[in-house]
Amino acid sequence: MKLNDEQINCYEESGYLLLPELLNTAEVAELQVALPDVLKRQGPEIIREQDNSQARLAFGAHVYNETYQRLSLHSSLLGPVQQLLQDDVYIHQSRINPKPGFGEGGAWSWHQDYPPWLKIDGMSKPRCVMVAVFIDDCTTVNSPLLVLPGSQNHGLLAASAHEDTIGRGYDLQNIDSEIVSKLADEHGIEALTGPAGSVAFVNCNVIHGSANNISPWRRAIMYLIYNAVSNACTGTQRPWYQNNRDFTPLKPLND
Ligand SMILES: O=C(O)CCC(=O)C(=O)O
């Protein structure tokens, strides 16, 4: 699949491009069926919520689960990412945020994803794309991902020292409130909503976050972080599920 010029311009300007229903219903059903097995795992790649035993994040499913592995090689994801980065790509990291309902899926403060990849993993440039695949419908009521359009143009923003108060288990830094207020006043805040199977391509410096999910409905999203091969990480501190060291260029599966 190829993006057109308008779509590429939209990604460059806003820092994200949302393509509704990019995956078909059969593909979505497969992702939903495969999810419980991933969330049942007991290894360190599964980060739990602090207030309950629910999985908050499942890292690395594209490595150990065949359905999610096939998703990561889907031509509708890989084609646009290669186009946006103008390079071969590999997966730096993947994570599923299942965000269960009734308040069990907790909030995410405003943050950028790139700083820990630069500072810990040795990713020298922000030449990577976060691809958000909606496993469930994402609506205004089940805590969609919120983004600040255009915030990718402000570089690395001041953030509070490392905080592990929201259970990511590592590296998340909250952007200072004054900065978020200023950028939100200037550019607004967008909620990424759409039916299951929709896909958002997001620049890794876009400020994003989400509220806790008090609706009855789960809101699972898989985030696949594709990095340009020429920008491969040099750090070795973190485990495979946070800093994948296999830089082999990915080739799409046929449809
Ligand atoms: O899925 C969400 O609600 C937010 C997740 C997030 O911000 C992240 O994983 O960086």
Convert the pLDDT of each residue in 116-153 to its tens digit. 899 899 999 999 999 999 999 999 999 999 999 999 99
Ligand 1 pocket residues where CB is under 6 Å: 95, 97, 99, 108, 113, 145, 208-210, 221, 223
Quick check: 213 and 103 in contact, CB under 8 A? Answer: yes
Q: What is the mean pLDDT of the chain?
A: 93
Q: Is the pLDDT of residue 53 over 80?
A: yes
Q: Is the pLDDT of residue 240 over 70?
A: yes
Mean predicted confidence (pLDDT) in 188-215: 97
Q: Which domains does the chain have, with CATH numbers?
A: 5-228 (2.60.120.620)
What number does the ligand 1 atom closest to the CA of 130 have? 10
- Dihedral, 236, 237, 239, 242 alpha carbons, nearest 10: -90
Q: Which amino acid is at 51?
A: D
What's the mean pLDDT in 76-99? Answer: 98
**Whole-number Å distance between alpha carbons of 50 and 68:** 26
What pLDDT does residue 17 have? 98
- Report d(CA 80, CA 99) in Å as an integer: 27
Please state, in angstroms and rounded to a whole number, the distance separating the CA atoms of residues 174 and 158. 9
Nearest to 30 by CA among 40, 38, 41, 20: 38
Cα–ligand 1 centroid distance for 21 (angstroms): 20
Over residues 54-79, the pLDDT tens digits come to: 999 999 999 999 999 999 999 999 99
- Best residue for ligand 1 mutational test, from 223, 225, 241, 242 (most atoms within 8 Å of Cβ): 223
Half-sphere exposure of 59 (CA within 13 A, CB side): 19
What is the average per-residue pLDDT within 206-230? 97
pLDDT at residue 165, as a whole number: 40
- Residue 104's contacts (CB-CB under 8 Å, 6 or more residues apart) are 49, 51, 52, 54, 213
Q: Which residue's alpha carbon is nearest to atom 10 within ligand 1?
A: 113
Distance 193 CA to ligand 1 centre (A): 14
